[in-house]
Amino acid sequence: MLIRHDGAALRVDAPAKLNLFLEVLGKREDGFHELETLMVTISLHDTLRFTEEPTPAIRL
């Protein structure tokens, strides 16, 4: 993950991952499932840009 300042904004590049294998195993006592997986990163990424707004809001 790459984090940069872009003027008054904060810019984050989040790398994509690809599941080559995914198996859902038994359910745990906390309600979640155990997983077995093989993930690799690929050369794509999402870019998220965060700026301060005058009113509390989330804008996509």
**pLDDT tens digit string along 12-30?**
999 999 999 999 999 999 9
Does a structural domain hold residue 60?
no
Does a structural domain hold residue 14?
yes
pLDDT at 47: 92
Q: Which two tokens stand for residue 30?
A: 């906390």
Does a structural domain hold residue 15?
yes
Does a structural domain hold residue 58?
no
Structural domain range at position 9: 2-50
* Cβ within 8 Å of residue 12, ≥6 positions away: 1, 2, 3, 4, 47, 48, 49, 50
Number of separate domains in the chain? 1
Does a structural domain hold residue 11?
yes
Does a structural domain hold residue 10?
yes
Q: Which two tokens stand for residue 6?
A: 């872009």
* Secondary structure of 35-58 in HEC code, one letter for each residue: EEEEEEEEEEEEEEEECCCCCCCC
Select the more confidently predicted residue: 60 or 16: 16
